[in-house]
Structure 1
């Protein structure tokens, strides 16, 4: 049988018709199966978890058929309670599928600790921006007799002397004792 006779035969057209029908039937069945397994068109609204404790956030997400996933702790934010949610992804109000993971960022229990820098024998003009860049605040500044005017002689925190390498919570106030430019005993 020649190729042209085969392509124009009744058997060939019947096989092509059956193949086209099979593709449509399989496609239709696949779409119905996807609709059933993916809950097409069914969404949950993401609740606002900001400021809530971990337990409250978990209960609220379970109520909405969503899954809690703790992503990380951020820098301490004094505007929120300790261990509360300060950020979430996706944002509140978004429509998501059931069992979707909601990633949250928690407020740690306090500011992270920062290494106290070496400031002795540096001027106040150098010390102040160094402390502020690390997140510390300059507290009380006292002067004592020393020939080095405005030179840092000692650092204290809450009345206790601190040394370079000590760890203090970020935003701590560090008091400085500086030289006043006078020789001791004058």
Structure 2
């Protein structure tokens, strides 16, 4: 039989039809297999990882078919235990597909250390602005007699004097001794000031 007659014969069309059916069936089975293996259409609710240690979060997410990915360690937040998760993306309650990575940030192990500035003889306002910029906190205030009002005379932490260059943890409370501005010249100070007669005598 010639090729031309074969291509126009009923046998060729039957074989072509069966071949197309087999290809279609294969494609259907393949798509179903992909849907099953990738949990197509199935979503997983992201758990709340807040305040969890990274190892515990890894175990929990692994059970749900998810992964954890550590992005960074953030500055210490006292409302979270050290080295626990403080942020996550996607957030808790989100719906994601199987195998999705959950990005997290960990709390630092404690407050960072800062270098204490020179506050002596500065105004209390200047001193508190400098403290807040470093993450320190003003504590108790004590006023003592002095000519200048609200001038920093002494600073201390936990009863220990603090000087410029000392290292302290952020959020430390700094106590101040300030001038009250009420100290006046004493009688002996006034006696030491020459009067007009003394000035005239000295001129003569």
Residue 153 (structure 1) aligns with: 153
Residue 58 (structure 2) aligns with: 58
* 1:93 aligned counterpart, secondary structure: coil
* 2:76 aligned counterpart, secondary structure: coil
Measure the CA separation in 1 of the matches of 2:149 and 2:37. Answer: 77
Measure the CA separation in 2 of the matches of 1:184 and 1:170. Answer: 41
The structural deviation recorded for 1:183 is 6.9
Checking the alignment, whether the CA contact within 8 Å between 2:73 and 2:107 is kept in structure 1 is yes
Gaps of 5+ in 1: 1-24
Residue 97 (structure 1) aligns with: 97
The structural deviation recorded for 1:72 is 1.7
Q: How does 1:22-171 map to 2 (within 5 A)?
A: 32=31, 35=35, 38-171=38-171
Please, which moves more after superposition, 173-182 or 127-136? 127-136
Q: Which has the larger radius of gyration?
A: 2
Give CA-to-partner distance per residue, 1:58-115, whole Å, 9 cap, x none. 1101111211112222232222222221211111122222222211112222222233
Checking the alignment, whether the CA contact within 8 Å between 2:38 and 2:98 is kept in structure 1 is no
The structural deviation recorded for 1:144 is 3.6
* 2:155 aligned counterpart, secondary structure: strand
Please, which moves more after superposition, 132-141 or 53-62? 132-141
Please, which moves more after superposition, 123-132 or 65-74? 123-132
Please, which moves more after superposition, 97-106 or 36-45? 36-45
TM-score using structure 2 length:
0.65
Give CA-to-partner distance per residue, 1:7-56, whole Å, 9 cap, x none. xxxxxxxxxxxxxxxxxx8xx95x93865775432333211111222222
* 1:83 aligned counterpart, secondary structure: coil
